[in-house]
Structure 1
Amino acid sequence: MDRISNPQESLAFLGGTSAMARAMREADWAASPLGPPQEWPQSLRSVVNLVLGSAFPMFVSWGPQLVTLYNDGYAVLCGEKHPAGLGQPILEIWSELRTDLEPLIARALAGESFFVENLLLRMRRHGFDEDTWFTFSYSPLVGEDGQIAGLYCTCIETTQSVRTQQQLRAREEWLQSLFHQAPGFAAVLRGPDHRFEMANQAYSVLTGNRPLVGMTVAQAMPEAMEQGFGRWLDKVYATGEAFVGRSVPVTVNQGEGKAPYETIIDFLYQPLRDAQGQVEGIFIQGHEVTEQHRAQQVLQAFSDSIPAIAWVAAPDGGLERFNAQWQDYTGQSAQLALGHGWVSAVHPDDLPKARAAWEAARGGNQAWQAEYRLRRQDGVYRWFLARVVPQLDESGRLLRWFGTTTDIDDARHATQTLRQADQQKDEFLATLAHELRNPLAPIRTAVHLLGRPNADEQTRSRAAEVIGRQVGYMARLLDDLIDVARITQRKLVLKKERVQVGSIVDAVLEAARPLADAKQHLLSAVLQDSKAEVLADPIRMAQVLINLLNNAVKYTDPGGSIQLAVRRESNELCLTVMDNGIGLTPLALEHVFAMFAQEQTAIERSEGGLGIGLALAKGLVQLHGGSLSAHSAGVGQGSSFVVRLPLDDGQEPPATACHGHNAAQVPARKVLLADDNRDSAETLADLLRSYGHDVHTAHDGAKAAELAMQLQPDVLILDIGMPGMTGYEVARHVRAQSWG
């Protein structure tokens, strides 16, 4: 490994202003198993730089002793174990978790990348043992010799979330228990045929312990239908209006051999509504008159939903009581919240809408719901859904409101994100259709010209040029899409070689100059060191710079100035494309590298394209181990895009593809060409025949395999996806032959 003479340069990968970056720079690594940072392998430097730059808690453990380095986020999770844990073996830092961590570490060191969700760990980080939960991913790290040299982990503590879920489950079980153990009878019916979804013990006793769940009222209790209860149920389901029965006589059959008995009941049929407010069922609650003192309305209110926050309010909206979840969330004491003090927790912008919904419901004594934001005790507002039902007396007078308030903030954001993604998809498909359709008109016209018998040679030549130019444009669009897909799927392979930056700059300036000259731009380059070398794929790096230069040309008014500057910075090479064009807003800078992102001012000046160029450029630069950033002082202030690449460290470049030959210089060959697209196969065959090759075609995999056995060709050109047999299967079949 080459030593870096300048100590500051050797610590560049520990750059940044974070506390852990400073701690690592100031640490005495000479006594550590890792040794001085300037001797650390490049793979370790890269991952440490990644860890320090991450906003998520991350750590890396390296070497036989798994010496551990971590960022600010992980330092917080360490509690009192930080800062002593920096540079210590991971199993010594978390000695109390050895039994839990050893199997995970072993999996990572065996080459496995994996994800674990909500793992319970009993750790000691604040001077006492505590149950914690974490979601994390482990990945192996490969050293310079190609062997696994360590691991890195990204983790998020989910303790609060898990405990909240446990509390919700406990509350759900509590509500179910209340329902089933309630002294009054209760049941839930679903659908227009009133099918029992649940019924409590008291209801079973009332009906003679007959089977109920899963059966309709007509099936389970035909005598109730005969006595008019079915008509009341139908009306409630159709109108959505609750029905209250007072002192209603009912005759209940007790089964064979038993005499029916008559009892007097009070009951309520309450419609159940879905999220859209449509009636989907009926809640039944009641009791025998002798047990009127039992407060079944409270049970009803809690059984209508599974609330995160439950409360009871007076007719005027004054809060009378609430459960512990309200105080846990808002931090409001009972003294502050009771009465109308709870209103102070509602976002001021949402209060008028919520009040209007309440006033409308109050006028008709109807159930209502509203969405509004509530302030958490730390000052953060989150969206909640309030669902409220009224309690009425015998005369229909409103007694009080029962409400549940449920946190829907995450669901709202997820819906908004999904809506934006769907809109972005639609915009992209429209743009793609437009960009692919535009070249078809001149291509179609050129094809008609070529088919005209009276077209002269000049016309035919011009038509062929049009077809070639437009097909080339379409191919570039599709190539960009394929490149983005390959980068996203990590399938794009770079053909790196040691290359002087000056040669790349010359090539991209030559490529960009015609477009710049057409708009009368001054295009220039400033090279600090034209012989500086980088280990890069020259074609891909040229692709990046041409994209940046072409963007600068397009989004700069005629007569503008565009410069490509190259300079060294520490152990990096910086290539900056600067212009004095339209510039970027702060919001645009945040999303400039997002897929399909185009600012409105840029769209107005757009000359075609899918909005993936900068995303593709950033992906290509990152594959080189570099970075791409955008800078602008604002609209009309120009822009600069900075590519940073690591300077060549003297490593041997990976093997590159062999050089091809001019088609005209290749001896005639026997060629078998297989493609289920007949036009593609026959046109390529005609082209190869024009160079003197003996070409045979097949249009499915089975025919290709058959012809291969007959012809024993010198060259096979196979489409991958074909009916019968794939190109891979045909190739394997040919390879298995003695001549293959």
Structure 2
Amino acid sequence: MGPLMHGHDWAATPLGPMEGWPQDLRATVRLMLRSRQAMFIGWGPDVTFLYNDAYLNILGPRHPQALGRPMSEVWPDAWPQVRDLVRRVYDGEPLLQEDLRIPLVRHGVAEDCYFTFSYTPIADEAGRTGGFLCIVAETTSAVERVRAEAEVRRANERLRAEGERLRALFRQAPGFMYVWRGPDHVFEMANDAYFDLIGRRDIIGKPAREALPEIVGQGFFELADQVYAAGEPFVGEGMPARIARRPGAPLEERFVTFVLQPIRDEQGQVMGLFVQGSDVTGMKRTEEALRESQQRLHIAQDAGGIGTFELRADGMLAVSPEFCRLWGIGERPLVRLEELVALIHPDDRPNLNTLRPGQVPTDGLGYVEYRINRPDSGAERWIARRAQAVTGGRDGEGTRILGACYDITDRKCAEDALRALNATLEQRVAERTADRDRMWRLSTDVMLVARFDGTMTAVNPAWTTLLGWDEAELQNADFLKFIHPADRAATVAEVGRLKSGLTTLRFENRYRHKDGSYRWISWTAVPDDRFIHAVGRDVTARKDSEAALRRAEDQLRQAQKMEAIGQLTGGVAHDFNNLLQALSSCLTMIGRRSAEPKLAPLLEAGMQAVDRGAKLVQQLMGFARRNSLRPEPIDVRDRVLGMAGLLERAMRADIRLETRFAPGLRPIEADPTQFELALINMAVNARDAMPEGGTLSIEAENLTLGPGDAPGLNGAGLEGQFLRLTVADTGTGMAPEVAAKAFDPFFTTKEVGKGSGLGLAQVYGLARQAGGTVWIESRPGEGTRIVLLLRATARVPRAPAVSADVSADVAGPFITGARVLMVEDDPVVASSVASALEESGWTVLRAGSADEALPLLAGDERIDLLFSDVVMPGRLSGIDLSREAAILRPGLPVVLTTGYSEDVARTEGIAVLSKPYRIDTLLQALHKAVGKVRG
């Protein structure tokens, strides 16, 4: 630019010749021309434009005309933006303006350019600003680069936002979506809908077969493998899948519709699968339910005889199979309308609103009835038709006519019959009324009509027959007044149920007869708005039978209980007898072996204790009916009067004894000792029950029991002649629970030491042994009655005879040196008795059972006598053994011993010792038995 500037005609410019330029201007021009930085100088009021070579690129086609021209002409398009800047610089203010946008036309193209301008004022000779130096740096590329970067950032932000939006859409999509990567179908992502389908589980990053093990074998992974290998998408419609939605949960069947879409890389290779689908389980089940509903509808139509039809525009009716069956035509899907009209009865056609294809009758379709003649059978049937017009049909159809037909022949016949019945209604009502009146008068069941307040408005004659009341006495009376007081509350409650609309069935209560007795009545009743209508049947006989049955059941239970207790008591008494026997034998041996005088009182006390124990056992045996009894005819009156003194001594002075005996009392058969003991036991109990004094009465009377008579407890099944003995006191009485246990052994309400609890048990045993029963009648504060029912006998009582017990004294000395076979299963008893016999000079052979004794009896060893217990373990008893001994050794003497009844043995004519026995008594019995044989 140097030569160009030196050659320029500056004289033609406001600057004038170059020689006249101010020194600072010339220096600045030199600096500008030497600089490689684009610069220009504006000088003077016109801002004459000077520039260097580096500025040429900016000027473009404006060079060289721009040299020496006013800046406003050089840059007319930019001048409006820089004019104010230039003015400020001329005011002496240096300025820096960066990235200023200046629209320029360069190379014939308008473009936005950006520059950074540094304006430095240049002083003239007067020291004022004459112009300025502007260092120019075009920043268009930098600005565009910054703008491009910003645009990239904005694009990235938009892309990120779009990605977030797409991810949100992916997550929130109503259908399930997931992405698999690689041939193993590794889960890369999945949306919420997919987790709703499979349950919340950790699947991302896992192969599909590992993440969803329950799907293996269901065909889904095989399809995915095929799509991945072939690169072709697959569409599945409503495919079933069994999924465990929770760990350990049972498999749940779901139905899914889905698309398997291959994902390809830049080279077009399949790199994964995109799966999109929806859970259509609900729709599938809805479709199934719809199909089932349609099937049920068809079944219901078939079962109900309902045929359906649709009238088409071509005059054909689309009909159901049941429609064809109703009309008696061959089954087919389409029937022409005219064919059906021809089957309708001629008389019914004028009333028929005939259907016409494509037309809806103006007077409506609705319901119509008509007769048809079935072509298959010629039968006339009544048909009801109901049809309606449906607007907005399928596939853009207009109005359609749909309808149904069903057979009403039976109903029509019933209506005809009803009309015929109505024609004779008055006559039939009169007949029914007469029938009802006859039933009312002749019924043996009581009938009533009553208000809900209990007022009887009508009763039938059966009230008089059953309860003795006249109709006039019952009319407008309150039926509650005739009901047993104990039944009134339940009756009021039942009336309340009737008032609420409920029906009464078999309600039972007691009504008072006019004679004061009560009858049980079972009621059936129904209510209406105002009245109760009831019928009652007399069930007194049934109630009495039920009560008798309950008593018999109670008696049976009591008898079974007492029998069980008796069995137990008898067993205990038998074992106790053995213990007493051992004690008695041992005490006898001690007495024989010791001459110490001081031992005599102790031994006697011991023997007395054994005797007391024996008496206690006798009482137990009496209850168990296993004691040694000697029943004989007894005159109860003589026996009681003979004991009067003893009984009075057992009472206190404040207790009076009364006896009452009916004439002609029958004798009974019982053990006299047990009978007297029972009287004493009852008298003592009565005395203890009257601490304040009172009366003890003993009464006796004859009683005859027939079939079905069962007086008192345990009397069931007793028939014949009896004597009833009643022992009554005026004492404190017993509570029911005490009376129920009074006969139990060892049961007592007395203090310790004042009663054994065996007294009434012995009374019970006596009654049962005497062929009868016993019961207690008592209430607290009302005294006690003990009633014994004892079987009468035809035998005549006689004076007591001398006892023939084997324990009687035997004249002469005891036999010694004899050999006795002793059979005893109790080792203690056997040892003690054997020792006593041996000390008395006997030789004892011992056996523990009949089975052990038989070989000894069959042998050659001398045996002079068999002494055996009756009850022993094994197959043979003592009685059986005595019979075997009579065969093996005829004439062998036998003595038996038992803790049970000796009657069993006496029937064999064999002497029996009752346990416990004394050794002296045993020796006497053995001596007597052997002496008889030896003569």
Both structures adopt the same fold (TM-score exceeding 0.5)? no
* TM superposition score category, shorter chain reference: 0.3 to 0.5
Largest Rg, 1 or 2: 2
